[in-house]
Amino acid sequence: MNLVAVGINHRTAPLEVREKVWYSDDEIRHAVAELKNNLFSECFLISTCNRTELYGVPNNGSPIAEDYALADQLKDFLISFKSASAFVERKHFYHFFSVGTVQHLFKVASGIDSMVIGDIQILSQIKDGYTIAVEAKTTNTFTHRLVQAAYHVGKRTRTETRITEGAVSVSYAAVELANKIFSDLGKRSALLIGAGETGELTAKHLVGRGIGKLLVTNRTRSKAEELVASLGGEAVNFERLTQHLLHADIIISSVAAPQHILTKNDIGRAMKERAHRPLFIIDIGVPRNIEPSVNNVENVFLHDMDALSGIVDQNLQKRKAEIPKVNAIIFEELTEFHNWHESLQVNPTIADLRDYFEAIRQEEVVKNINRFSPENRELLELVTKRIVNKLLHAPTTNLKNGSGESFEEKHTKLHIVRTLFGLSKEARHEEKE
């Protein structure tokens, strides 16, 4: 299978290295166009925060088992295109050839190769990279079928296994826990304290779960305003934090502070004004933002990082338990793709073999047709065609079946047939000369 991939991801390089070879959409477009002109007949490039991977069909036209020189050339290209040689080296990359390339892409599409097992975003990221390549006209039949098969793996994984179920990030676990406490978040209000990276992720999850009202506060008010401008909600003053406690059912706090920003007394006073209406608090700050004794206040339910980490760990273990099921799907789809690829190799060979025999048959019939009476000439056509069909029956059947043979064995068989009967373009050219 004439296919190669090179890439860099969270397993082979730290973030400060990976970000040096992150490709924007425009850079992907120009990179694949350059590669198509020089090294590939078809190619596409995927680039996310955790991986950059290049897939291609080398334009030498012959199947490759291992071509380390080509792999190194592609790694150098990805590095030099980004002018990143001062930061990135070949050792940060991995490579795959032939069927191994297909298997790797299927693992990526399924989410089991992601930093977070079961990542649901990777399938759309593959689609985005491939769409750019389609627009740049660097794809064709093979890569189209390859990516379609990867999509199918991803969709089957999500519908036939539980690999994507359960929160596996602290911010998502916080919102999932809130959703379990309050079955309908659409009727609830949440106060998000902190508009940093974790706060932003939490806000996105709250909005995604349909929170009724979102209040966001931050020491720097402008950051809170930026967040609500993109997601919706209302930015409120940090200085009036205790007053905002009266209007929220859920409080999620994620700020960097040397001491508690809310104490037991703060919450106690607020609960009296709330008439002890239940208050759900999630503290995902490090150090902790909420005084732990708050949990002793009536109708206040406080969960911290340890509690959420326990939920995340449990869910991760559940996802890992699904990996054997995912691998079974990948094996099935890999077999299907391999069979499709084999048909591309076998069918043209069978067709060429039949054309070769038919050309000889017709040539001999033409040479000897006058030796037969007019009434026997139709019989001559029939008999010679039957002879050709019988001669080709066993070779055709064996080429199509080939059960138990490896890819290399089948490829060798096809190569021998084409060579023996002069079916290659080069051989035919020599024959004509």
**What does the alpha-carbon distance between residue 163 and residue 112 come to, in Å, rounded to a whole number?**
8
Q: In what order do the strands lie in the sheet with 51-58?
A: 40-47, 51-58, 4-9, 94-97
- Mean pLDDT of the chain, nearest integer: 89
pLDDT, one tens digit per residue, over 42-75 is: 999 999 888 999 999 998 654 454 588 899 999 9
Residues 311-338: pLDDT tens digits?
A: 888 888 999 999 999 999 999 999 999 8
Q: How confident is the model at residue 397 (pLDDT cuts 50, 70, 90)?
A: confident
As a dihedral over the C-alpha atoms of residue 338, residue 344, residue 346, residue 348, rounded to 10 degrees, the angle is 180
Question: pTM for the full model?
Answer: 0.67
| Residue 43 annotated to the active site | no
Residues 6+ positions from 18 with CB-CB distance below 8 Å: 8, 9, 10, 49, 50, 51, 52
Residue 108 has pLDDT above 90, yes or no: yes
Tens of pLDDT, residues 8-29: 999 999 989 999 999 999 999 9
pLDDT band at 428 (very low <50, low <70, confident <90, very high): very low
Among 91-100, 151-160, 347-356, 423-432, the range scoring the smallest mean pLDDT is 423-432
pLDDT in tens, 151-206: 999 999 999 999 988 877 788 888 888 888 887 899 999 999 999 888 888 888 89
pLDDT at 430: 43
Task: Identify the active-site residue in 15, 49, 229, 321.
Answer: 49
Does residue 281 or residue 256 have the better pLDDT? 281
Report pLDDT for 27: 96
In the predicted model, is pLDDT for residue 432 greater than 50? Answer: no
